[in-house]
Amino acid sequence: MLEFDDIQHILLTRAPALTGRYEFLSFREPVAGREWVAAIREKVQSAHAARASVETDKRWVSVAFTWNGLRALGVDEAALATFPEEFKQGMATRADILGDTGANHPDKWVGGLAGPDLHAIVILFSRDAAERERSRSEHDKLIGRLKGVEVLSSLDLEATPPFDYAHDHFGYRDRLSQPVIEGSGDVPTRGSGAPLKAGEFILGYPDEDGPPANLPQPEILSRNGSYMAYRRLQEHVGAFRDFLRQHGKTPEEQELIAAKLMGRWRSGAPLVLAPNKDDPALGADMQRNNDFNYKEMDPHGYAVPLGSHCRRMNPRDTAANMNRRRMIRRGATYGPPLPDGIPDDGAERGIAAFVICASLIRQFEFAQNVWANDKNFHELGNERDPIIGSQDGTLEYTIPRRPIRRKITGLPAFTTVRGGAYFFLPGLRALGYLATLGDGRQSRAS
Amino acid sequence: MADTARKDNWMKPAAMAIPKEGYFKDKEERGRYGPIFPRTPACHGFTIIAKVKPGREQAVRDYGKSIEAAVAGDPHCLEVLKLHYLRWVLFDINGDTYFMYQGIFDTDFDKYTEDAVALFSKTGITTVFVNLEGFPEDWRTNVPAFIKFVREHQRQSFLEYGEYPYVSADEIKKALRVKAALSDMLDQMQ
């Protein structure tokens, strides 16, 4: 039985937010940090609370901590040592494993995310801009009261128009393929597979391999927690549109190129089910738009190129142990939209997203290292993920086609990593535990 | 992984001498679980040598039969390991029995480690490993400990040679399929 009243809502619910804000914090004093945790904890909704009032709520708050942040709050060394190695090292230290090289290198990240001072994130998802402003102001007041908690940086989130469906700045419909957690009450859409054991995403529960093992200690700290990999990914919309124009003579051809890079039309319609022509009704139909596989329906990639983003991020029936590689994605777009036909204005815009999973190394890092950035994925030889892979202009993209495949050389980078971090997302009881560390009791690794 | 395209090189036999560390320090690439061993003209591979626990030699030997049966039952059961060849050898040094697991495969070990551990569990290969001294008791749930054992018992080659270098098993199978199809086509034209 999942403890819905202890699990942070972001793990199990998707807030209907159109705006929001992330604030990245540093605790200069453990006491101030704990006071902040105690205060913000009152605002963090559990999955149970968020579900009960999702229609009327206007803001949804989540908090999470880096390993350095847990130490800054006063978690003792014995407990800190029980966390997994990749979390201890942090995302910036794992840059070469993740493909964060060249323009994506942590040296170039913004917002102080690459340094050891990054301790926590507070996510303020908001129904509208007025509510975001209210949340920001409330949080400012809290920070102002506490001497010793510093805001390193922040990022305002904005949905991109049209607002009737979620999509990124490139125009691709998003949120189409999400794993469902067993016991969550959610029902998987057709083609999404059976619900997965909770332990794949929430610490303290059996996972697809058996009972939980090697959990961070003490148990009160890890139970109902999870890990979040944060990625701030700038999208080069001008370069993307130029690329489509360069490789497609007509608007139809350009749409097809966009679809071939992703594996879905920008409407969301999967190429496996609509290989030649976009089908927006299919794209919008959650009961049909995820109902396909690759091994039987498109083994050679004539519909969905073998190296496309969708095929790399979720190879479905063409990869082993898929149930151990799934990830929950949350997040939003940021920056101003770039209207069609307007040259790139140089403003930063992109996706600021979280990958939530029980094992960063087995789930998130595997997807980055092996699926996105292995040049030899599916024997391709000289390709990486065309959307999120580490691209330096020297790689290729192969589009299988009869009689002869089309190969695009010198693929440009459509995205740049501007920041990232590994966070631990504690349950609500664990937040209470962190808030009261040092109040006459110490964390203890059992 | 040294994953640059070497598609045109298969006609030209090649040899590579490998430094003592097992990888080239100036070109060191880090995988999720540590430095990645280089791809050589003889593909990726490892040679794990470990002492067999006393009295377990027959148990290890018997697993040869069980793997034979597993592959006969499901010829693709080892597919995820991307293997070309496996060689399992038992030998003695000063009265102790040692086991050598030598595999030649197409992906660096780091990349699909968790899949390999899962497969080893399923096919009983790990059951061979538990007969080896120093194998972690909690290997089922502790992938890092499993990998540590493998890395500590890996004896890196110092020379590898390929008559048709850098060719993957999939490419070989694809070429043989083309050859067979061509042969069929020619038959049909008689």
Mutate to test the interface with B, among A85, A97, A407 (most CBs of B within 10 A): A97
A97 near B CB under 8 A: yes
Give A249→chain B minimum CA distance, Å.
30
Contact B7 A381 (CB under 8 A): yes
Same domain as A131, residue A76? yes
pLDDT of res. A134: 97
Closest Cβ–Cβ partner in A96, A213, A320 for B30: A96
Give B99→chain A minimum CA distance, Å.
28
Please report residues of A whose CB lies closer than 8 A to that of B31. 97, 369
Same domain as A185, residue A119? yes
Give B3→chain A minimum CA distance, Å.
6
B145 near A CB under 8 A: no
A321 near B CB under 8 A: yes
Same domain as A431, residue A409? no
Structure tokens at A22: 């992330």
Same domain as A426, residue A363? no
pTM of the model: 0.94
Same domain as A82, residue A169? yes
Please report residues of A whose CB lies closer than 8 A to that of B32. 86, 97, 361, 365-366, 369
Give A74→chain B minimum CA distance, Å.
27
A403 near B CB under 8 A: no
Query: What is the CA B19 to chain-centroid distance, rounded?
Result: 20
Same domain as A105, residue A64? yes
- Domain annotation covers residue B1: no
Contact A97 B32 (CB under 8 A): yes
- Domain annotation covers residue B2: no
pLDDT of res. B25: 81
A213 near B CB under 8 A: yes
Q: Answer yes or no: is pLDDT of A302 > 60.
A: yes
- Domain annotation covers residue B7: no
Task: Output the CA angle A160-A166-A168, nearest 5 degrees.
Answer: 55
d(CA B141, CA A382): 35
Domain count of chain B?
A: 1
Its domain, for residue B144, covers 14-188
List, for residues A375-402, the tens digit of each pLDDT value: 989 889 899 999 999 999 999 999 999 9
Same domain as A223, residue A157? yes
| DSSP single-letter state for residue B106 | S
Task: Please name the helix (run of DSSP H) or strand (run of DSSP E) that holds residue B181, with its range, or none.
Answer: helix B169-188
Q: Answer yes or no: is pLDDT of A216 > 50.
A: yes
A394 near B CB under 8 A: no
Give A158→chain B minimum CA distance, Å.
34
The CATH number for B144's domain is 3.30.70.1090
> What average pLDDT does range A59-73 have in this prediction?
98
pLDDT of res. B8: 57
Burial class (CB in 10 A: 0-12, 13-18, 19+), B136: middle
- Domain annotation covers residue B26: yes
Q: Answer yes or no: is pLDDT of A441 > 60.
A: no
Contact B29 A96 (CB under 8 A): yes
Closest Cβ–Cβ partner in A86, A365, A375 for B3: A375
Please report residues of A whose CB lies closer than 8 A to that of B170. 379
- Domain annotation covers residue A426: yes
List, for residues B84-112, the tens digit of each pLDDT value: 999 999 999 999 999 999 999 998 878 88
List, for residues A327-381, the tens digit of each pLDDT value: 999 999 999 999 999 999 999 999 999 999 999 999 999 999 999 999 989 889 8
Task: Please name the helix (run of DSSP H) or strand (run of DSSP E) that holds residue B93, with its range, or none.
Answer: strand B83-93
Q: What percent of chain B has pLDDT over 70?
A: 96
- Domain annotation covers residue A260: no
B137 near A CB under 8 A: no
Give B111→chain A minimum CA distance, Å.
6
d(CA A51, CA A55): 8
pLDDT of res. A444: 45
> Closest residue of B to A209, CA-based?
B141
Its domain, for residue A199, covers 9-227+422-435
Please report residues of B whose CB lies closer than 8 A to that of A214. 141-142
List, for residues B122-174, the tens digit of each pLDDT value: 777 777 889 999 999 888 888 888 888 988 999 989 999 999 999 999 889 99
- φ, ψ dihedrals at A113, nearest 5°: -80, -20
Give B171→chain A minimum CA distance, Å.
8
Give A295→chain B minimum CA distance, Å.
15
Same domain as A129, residue A45? yes
- Domain annotation covers residue A40: yes
**Which residues numbered 55-114 in B keep a CB inside 8 Å of some CB on A?**
79-80, 107, 111-112, 114
A422 near B CB under 8 A: no
CA distances from A62 to A74, A147, A406 (A): 20, 22, 45
Mutate to test the interface with B, among A203, A370, A397 (most CBs of B within 10 A): A370
Please report residues of B whose CB lies closer than 8 A to that of A381. 3, 5, 7
Contact B5 A381 (CB under 8 A): yes
Give A382→chain B minimum CA distance, Å.
6
- Domain annotation covers residue A118: yes
Contact B118 A369 (CB under 8 A): no
Domain count of chain A?
A: 2
Work out the mean pLDDT of chain A and round it to a whole number.
95
- How many pairs of residues across A and B have Cβ atoms under 8 Å apart? 59
> Closest residue of A to B111, CA-based?
A370
Q: How confident is the model at residue A305 (pLDDT cuts 50, 70, 90)?
A: very high
Same domain as A392, residue A301? yes
Closest Cβ–Cβ partner in B3, B4, B7 for A374: B3
Contact B118 A381 (CB under 8 A): no
Same domain as A311, residue A393? yes
A404 near B CB under 8 A: no
Closest Cβ–Cβ partner in B30, B112, B119 for A97: B30
- Domain annotation covers residue A271: no
Structure tokens at B37: 């061993």
- Domain annotation covers residue A157: yes
Same domain as A54, residue A65? yes
- Domain annotation covers residue B19: yes
- Domain annotation covers residue B6: no
> What average pLDDT does range B59-73 have in this prediction?
92
> What average pLDDT does range B108-123 have in this prediction?
82
d(CA A59, CA B175): 59
pLDDT of res. A96: 95
pLDDT of res. B7: 53
Same domain as A29, residue A148? yes
d(CA A5, CA A52): 11
Task: Please name the helix (run of DSSP H) or strand (run of DSSP E) that holds residue B84, with its range, or none.
Answer: strand B83-93
